[in-house]
C-alpha cells in the first residue's frame, strides 16, 4: 500500500484487539497513518481491494466500536498535534489522537474550560470522543461533545478530504435539519462515514469556583427523592450528580485512601454533586444543599466536601476505579464465555424512580447474581453493570439488558445516552429508531461510504447496505 505499511506481526496486532466492551477484535493487520494524505491513501487502498477499515483511538470504548472484526485496524493515535488554544476565538485545535485530559489542561492554562468530561478523560482520545459524541458527569450542566465541535478535518469513505465548519448563524432553515450542519453528521458516527484527523473545539470561561460533595444515604430510595428534589429546585444548579449504590460503595472502599466512606451498615447509597459559585460564595451556594440533605435523611455529618481541585480530583479518580474494577472482574470470566453487560439507557428524570425499580425487578426475575448501579443519575442515566460469569449467564444477562432498553423506550427514553451504539448495542437501535429512519441512516452511510469499507459492524450488522 504505497508509503503506508500494513503491520502483520501477530504480536503487534494483539495490542489492537481489545477495548472495554469485553469483545475481542480480529484484524488481519494494523495501519498507522501520520497525516491526512496517509488516511486518504488507506481509504483508496481499501476501496480498490474491498478491505474493511476500522478506525481506533485508545480503546476505551465500551461498545466494541474500535474493534476490527475483519480487515484492517487504523490506529489514529499518530495524529498527536498538541492543543493550540486561541483565547480570543475561544477554541482549541488539536489532533484526533491526543488524550482528552491534555486538551482540558491546555485550556485551563488560559483560564478556559473544555466541558465534556468522560470518566476515561485521562486515557481516551479526542477523536474517539467526537466519533461517539461522548459526555460524562458534567453533561448535566454542559451537555455532550457535539455542541463543542466547531470544525472537523478528515477523509470520507468516498476519499474526499474535508474541513467542515459549523454554521454559526443564529437562524438556519436550509434543508433537512440533520444536514444543516454537516459537522453533526460526523459527530457520533462511530467511524462509519469517515476518519477524523483533527478538530476545533469550543471552550468556555472557567467558573470562578465550584465545590463537590459526596453525600451518603441510608437508602437508595431516599437518594432518588433527593435527586428529584434537587433537579426541581430553583435554588440549585448542579453540574454533576453521580450515583453510587451499595455494590459500588463496596468496590470503592478499598480504593478510598484518605476519603472516609461510611460503613455498609450505615450507608447503602451515595451521590456525588458539584455546584459552581463565585469567589468566597461557597457557604451561600451550599446552604440550600444542606437543607435538602437534612430534608431527605442524608448522613449529613459523613458528607465528603471537596473544596479544592486536589480533593475533587481524588473523588473523580475514585469514581474511575469503579468501572476499572468491574472490567477486571469481567476479564477473569472471559475463558468461561462471560463478560460485562453494561447498560447505557436513559429516561426523562420524572421516570427515574419507576425505571430503576423496573430494572431491578428484571434483574431479580432473571436470577442475576449481582449488579452494580452507578453513574449519571442527575440525567436519568444510571449505568447498570452485570458481570456474566459464563456463556449461559451472558445470554441471560443480554436478555435483561434488552428488556431494560424496551422499558426505557416505553418511558420516553433512549437505548444509548453517551457511549454510542458500536457493535454491542446495534440490535437495540432498531427498538428505538423507526424502519424508515433506519433506511435513511443507511442511505447516508452509502453516500459517504459507497463501498461499505468503513467500520463494518458499527451501528448496522456486518454486510448491511
Q: Are residues 220 and 297 in the same domain?
A: yes
Final residue before a domain boundary, out of 264, 294, 328: 328
Whole-angstrom distance, CA of residue 117 vs CA of residue 114? 8
Residue 441 in any domain: the answer is: no
Domain boundary among 205, 221, 241: 205
Indicate which CATH number applies to the domain containing 276. Answer: 3.30.70.2190
In whole angstroms, give the CA distance from residue 351 to residue 422: 26
Say if 449 falls within a structural domain. Answer: no
Q: What cell does 98 get?
A: 491526543
Residues comprising the chain, all counted: 465
The confidence band for 317, taking pLDDT boundaries of 50, 70 and 90, is confident
Residues 271 and 218 in one domain: yes
% of the chain exceeding 90 in pLDDT: 92
Residue 206 pLDDT grade (very low, low, confident, very high; cuts 50, 70, 90): very high
The predicted-structure confidence for 367-423, as pLDDT tens digits, reads as follows: 999 999 999 999 999 999 999 999 999 999 999 999 999 999 999 999 999 999 999
Q: Is residue 173 part of a domain?
A: yes
The sheet with strand 149-156 has its strands ordered as 84-86, 91-95, 194-202, 149-156, 161-165
Q: pLDDT tens digits, residue range 281-299?
A: 999 999 999 999 999 999 9
Please tell me whether residues 295 and 322 are part of one structural domain. yes
- Do the domain assignments include residue 444? no
Res 57 pLDDT > 60: yes
- Mean pLDDT calculated for residue range 450-462: 96
Count the domains in the chain.
4
For the domain that residue 54 is a member of, what is the CATH number? 3.30.43.10
Indicate which CATH number applies to the domain containing 363.
3.30.70.2740
**pLDDT for res 267:** 97
The yes-or-no verdict on residue 2 having pLDDT over 70 is no
Q: Are 316 and 343 found together in one domain?
A: no
For residue 366, pLDDT over 90 is answered with yes
The pLDDT score that the predictor gives to residue 406 is 98
User: Do 253 and 183 reside in the same domain of the chain?
Assistant: no
Residue 455 lies in a domain: no
Give the residue numbers spanning the domain of 405.
333-419
List, for residues 145-166, the tens digit of each pLDDT value: 999 999 999 999 999 999 999 9
pLDDT in tens, 23-52: 999 999 999 999 999 999 999 999 999 999
3 has a pLDDT exceeding 80: no
Clarify whether residues 256 and 337 are in a common domain.
no
Are 276 and 310 in a shared domain? yes
CA distances from 422 to 150, 194, 446, 455, 459 (A): 24, 15, 18, 9, 5
Q: Are residues 89 and 201 in the same domain?
A: yes
Q: Give the model's pLDDT for residue 319.
A: 86
CATH number at residue 193: 3.30.465.10
User: pLDDT band at residue 1, thresholds of 50, 70 and 90?
Assistant: low
d(CA 247, CA 48): 52
For the chain, the average pLDDT equals 95
What is the average per-residue pLDDT within 121-141? 95
Angle at which helices 352-365 and 391-410 cross, to 10°: 150
- 431 within some domain: no
417 by Cβ neighbours in 10 Å (0-12 / 13-18 / 19+) ranks as buried
pLDDT of residue 465: 56
Q: 261 and 297 share a domain?
A: yes
pLDDT in tens, 236-279: 999 999 999 999 999 999 988 888 999 999 999 999 999 999 98
The closest alpha carbon to 188, from 345, 414, 420, 21, belongs to: 420
In this prediction, residue 464 carries a pLDDT of 66
**Within this chain, do residues 181 and 111 fall inside the same structural domain, yes or no?**
yes
Q: How far apart are CA 462 and CA 457, in angstroms?
A: 4
Residue 20, in any domain of the structure: yes
One domain for residues 150 and 172? yes
* Residues ≥6 apart with Cβ < 8 Å to 397: 341, 366, 368, 386, 388
95 and 112 housed in the same domain = yes
**Helix, strand, coil percentages in the chain from 3-state DSSP, rounded to 5:** 40, 20, 40
User: Which of 150, 185, 205 represents a domain boundary (last residue)?
Assistant: 205
Long-range contacts of 311-316 (CB under 8 A, 24+ apart): 311/212, 312/210, 312/212, 312/274, 314/257, 314/258, 314/259, 315/212, 315/214, 315/259, 315/272, 316/137
41 falls within a domain:
yes
Amino acid at each position: 500500500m504505497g508509503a503506508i505499511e500494513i503491520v502483520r506481526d501477530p504480536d503487534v496486532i494483539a495490542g489492537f484487539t481489545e477495548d472495554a466492551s469485553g469483545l475481542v477484535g480480529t484484524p488481519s493487520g494494523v495501519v498507522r497513518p501520520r497525516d491526512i494524505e496517509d488516511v486518504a491513501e488507506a481509504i483508496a487502498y481499501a476501496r480498490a481491494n474491498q478491505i474493511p477499515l476500522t478506525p481506533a483511538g485508545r480503546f476505551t470504548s465500551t461498545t466494541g466500536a474500535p474493534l476490527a472484526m475483519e480487515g484492517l485496524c487504523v490506529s489514529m493515535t499518530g495524529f498527536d498535534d498538541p492543543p493550540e488554544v486561541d483565547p480570543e476565538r475561544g477554541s482549541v485545535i488539536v489532533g484526533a489522537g491526543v488524550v482528552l485530559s491534555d486538551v482540558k489542561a491546555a485550556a485551563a492554562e488560559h483560564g478556559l474550560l473544555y466541558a465534556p468530561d468522560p470518566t476515561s478523560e485521562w486515557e481516551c482520545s479526542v477523536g474517539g470522543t467526537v466519533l461517539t459524541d461522548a459526555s460524562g458527569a458534567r453533561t448535566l450542566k454542559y451537555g455532550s461533545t457535539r455542541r463543542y465541535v466547531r470544525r472537523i478535518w478528515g477523509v470520507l469513505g468516498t476519499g474526499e478530504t474535508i474541513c467542515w465548519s459549523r454554521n454559526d448563524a443564529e437562524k438556519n432553515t436550509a434543508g433537512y435539519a440533520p444536514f444543516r450542519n454537516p459537522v453533526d453528521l460526523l459527530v457520533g458516527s462511530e467511524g462509519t462515514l469517515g476518519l477524523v484527523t483533527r478538530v476545533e473545539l469550543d471552550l468556555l470561561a472557567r467558573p470562578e469556583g465550584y465545590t463537590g460533595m459526596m453525600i451518603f444515604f441510608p437508602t437508595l430510595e431516599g437518594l432518588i427523592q433527593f435527586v428529584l428534589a434537587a433537579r426541581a429546585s430553583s435554588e440549585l444548579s448542579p453540574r454533576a450528580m453521580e450515583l453510587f449504590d451499595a455494590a459500588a460503595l463496596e468496590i470503592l472502599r478499598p480504593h478510598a485512601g484518605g476519603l472516609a466512606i461510611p460503613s455498609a451498615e450505615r450507608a447503602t447509597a451515595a451521590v456525588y454533586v458539584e455546584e459552581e459559585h463565585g469567589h468566597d460564595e461557597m457557604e451561600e451556594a451550599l446552604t440550600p444543599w444542606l437543607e435538602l440533605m437534612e430534608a431527605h435523611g442524608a448522613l449529613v455529618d459523613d458528607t465528603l466536601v471537596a473544596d479544592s481541585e486536589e480533593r475533587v480530583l481524588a473523588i473523580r479518580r475514585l469514581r474511575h476505579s469503579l468501572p476499572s474494577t468491574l472490567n477486571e472482574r469481567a476479564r477473569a470470566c472471559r475463558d468461561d464465555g462471560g463478560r460485562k453487560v453494561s447498560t447505557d439507557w436513559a429516561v426523562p428524570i420524572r421516570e427515574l424512580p419507576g425505571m430503576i425499580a423496573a430494572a431491578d425487578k428484571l434483574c431479580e426475575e432473571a436470577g442475576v447474581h449481582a449488579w452494580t448501579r452507578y453513574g449519571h443519575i442527575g440525567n436519568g442515566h444510571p449505568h447498570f453493570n452485570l458481570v456474566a460469569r459464563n456463556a449461559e449467564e451472558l445470554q441471560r444477562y443480554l436478555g435483561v439488558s434488552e428488556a431494560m432498553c424496551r422499558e426505557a423506550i416505553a418511558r420516553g427514553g433512549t437505548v444509548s445516552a453517551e457511549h454510542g451504539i458500536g457493535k454491542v448495542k446495534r440490535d437495540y437501535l432498531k427498538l428505538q429508531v423507526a424502519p424508515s429512519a433506519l433506511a435513511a441512516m443507511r442511505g447516508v452511510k452509502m453516500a459517504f461510504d459507497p463501498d461499505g469499507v468503513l467500520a463494518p459492524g458499527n451501528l448496522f450488522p456486518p454486510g448491511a447496505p
